[in-house]
């Protein structure tokens, strides 16, 4: 493969990791379609970002330095040829382009390859029916080649042929206060889970599990020694914050990772089993079928 393209893909991964390090998990890296280690890394980074983005909305427990800013709205006005005429002030901020980069550009240049089919359908419908109203998810591409999934509405303005594209996207804001990490109205928390330091410790356990999905999970006693806490606080604190046991969390995450690797790569199933912390393929296959209702061999591989 061309070394310049490899370098570009590597830079995209680095940029994605920098965004995640800042607590921003809303982006995705666009897939290249290659079958190599960089593509596997891309799949894993996208998977991690998606999982973290889902978890940061859970009462603010994950990543306690950040919280959701809920929704940011971006708005484009296009002419009848679907060329950008104007936009609101959030557009350059979210996508990283200067206003000059955006004016008079085709709106489709901001969309991922996967969204182009949906967008072309919208264009056809708007051309046939002036009153057509479209609502769906479109994925934008930032200047740094990161993907931003957004919920969009597309409609034609009254009295002229201009088109309004309005999108909403979850973003991250550094304003969460420690006092809201533990709800005052929740009286079922285990004894001792009151301090921010306790919540941060349990988050470290969470991070440790995600970082070691390819290894067998240490037992509760070993985990408590690793993190310098007691088994009670670790067991019940984790279940209180994440609504699942430590082992259930670990098992579900490693199997979801395995599912994605099966679907998106050509790695042999036995190797994926080992990469997922299973000592034998039969054990992996049994656990996989129990969670998903079908065996690894039943999955259609995309590559």
Assign residue 17 the CATH number of its domain: 1.10.8
Do 26 and 87 fall into the same domain?
Answer: no
Do 47 and 98 fall into the same domain?
Answer: no
CB of 175 within 8 A of CB of 89?
no
Domain holding 122, by residue range, is 71-169
User: Which residues does the chain have with pLDDT short of 70?
Assistant: 1-2, 21-26, 52-72, 170-196, 302-303
Number of domains composing the chain:
3
Outline where 22-149 has alpha helix (H): 37-55, 90-95, 99-102, 113-128
Query: 107 in a domain, yes or no?
Result: yes
Do 103 and 156 fall into the same domain?
Answer: yes
Do 62 and 78 fall into the same domain?
Answer: no
Kindly calculate the radius of gyration of the chain based on its CA atoms and give it in whole angstroms. 23
Check which CATH number belongs to the domain holding 85 and give it. 3.30.450.20
DSSP letters of 117-143? HHHHHHHHHHHH-TT-EEEEEEEEE-T
Do 79 and 155 fall into the same domain?
Answer: yes
Cα pseudo-dihedral 53, 56, 58, 62, rounded to 10: 130
Do 141 and 159 fall into the same domain?
Answer: yes
Place of tokens 């799949």: 43
Do 143 and 83 fall into the same domain?
Answer: yes
Query: 88 in a domain, yes or no?
Result: yes
Query: 253 in a domain, yes or no?
Result: no
Do 15 and 33 fall into the same domain?
Answer: yes
Q: What is the pLDDT of residue 61?
A: 44
| Residue 294, token pair as written in the block | 């079908």
Q: What is the pLDDT of residue 294?
A: 92
Do 196 and 232 fall into the same domain?
Answer: yes
- Tell me if residue 6 falls in helix, strand or coil: helix
Q: Which of 169, 193, 223 is the last residue of a domain?
A: 169
With vertex at residue 293, the alpha carbon angle to CA 288 and CA 299, rounded to the nearest 5 degrees, is 70
As a whole number of angstroms, the distance between CA 39 and CA 161 comes to 42
Q: Write out pLDDT tens, residues 144-165.
A: 888 888 878 888 887 788 898 9
Torsion sign over Cα 52, 92, 116, 170: positive
Q: Which of 169, 204, 235 is the last residue of a domain?
A: 169
As a whole number of angstroms, the distance between CA 96 and CA 165 comes to 18
Query: 29 in a domain, yes or no?
Result: yes
Q: What is the pLDDT of residue 176?
A: 33
Query: 287 in a domain, yes or no?
Result: no
Whole-prediction pTM: 0.42
Q: Which of 66, 89, 116 is the last residue of a domain?
A: 66
Do 110 and 35 fall into the same domain?
Answer: no
Q: Which uninterrupted H or E stretch holds 15?
A: helix 3-21
Q: What is the pLDDT of residue 183?
A: 37
Provide the greatest CA pair distance for the chain: 70
Q: Write out pLDDT tens, residues 237-285.
A: 888 878 889 999 999 999 988 888 888 788 889 989 988 889 899 999 9
- Contacts of 10 by beta carbon, 8 Å cutoff, 6+ apart: 38
Do 57 and 93 fall into the same domain?
Answer: no
Query: 27 in a domain, yes or no?
Result: yes
Query: 289 in a domain, yes or no?
Result: no
Query: 161 in a domain, yes or no?
Result: yes
Do 78 and 134 fall into the same domain?
Answer: yes
């Amino acid at each position: 493969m061309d070394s310049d393209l490899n370098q570009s893909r590597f830079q995209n991964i680095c940029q994605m990791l920098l965004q995640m390090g800042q607590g921003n998990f809303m982006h995705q890296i666009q897939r290249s379609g290659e079958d190599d280690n960089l593509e596997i890394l891309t799949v894993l980074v996208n998977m991690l970002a998606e999982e973290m983005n889902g978890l940061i909305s859970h009462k603010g427990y994950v990543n306690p330095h950040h919280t959701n800013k809920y929704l940011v709205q971006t708005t484009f006005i296009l002419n009848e040829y679907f060329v950008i005429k104007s936009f609101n002030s959030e557009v350059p901020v979210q996508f990283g382009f200067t206003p000059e980069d955006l004016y008079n550009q085709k709106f489709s240049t901001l969309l991922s390859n996967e969204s182009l089919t949906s967008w072309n359908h919208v264009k056809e419908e708007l051309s046939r029916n002036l009153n057509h109203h479209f609502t769906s998810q479109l994925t934008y591409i930032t200047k740094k080649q990161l993907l931003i999934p957004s919920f969009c509405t597309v409609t034609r303005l009254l009295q002229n042929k201009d088109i309004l594209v309005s999108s909403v996207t979850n973003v991250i804001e550094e304003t969460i206060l420690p006092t809201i990490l533990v709800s005052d109205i929740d009286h079922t928390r285990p004894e001792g889970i009151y301090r921010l330091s306790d919540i941060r410790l349990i988050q470290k356990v969470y991070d440790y599990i995600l970082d070691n999905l390819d290894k067998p999970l240490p037992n509760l006693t070993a985990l408590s020694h690793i993190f310098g806490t007691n088994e009670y606080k670790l067991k019940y604190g984790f279940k209180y914050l994440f609504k699942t046991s430590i082992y259930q969390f670990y098992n579900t995450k490693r199997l979801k990772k395995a599912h994605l690797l099966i679907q998106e790569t050509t790695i042999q199933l036995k190797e994926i089993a080992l990469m997922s912390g299973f000592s034998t393929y039969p054990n992996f296959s049994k656990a996989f079928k129990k969670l998903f209702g079908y065996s690894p061999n039943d999955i259609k591989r995309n590559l």
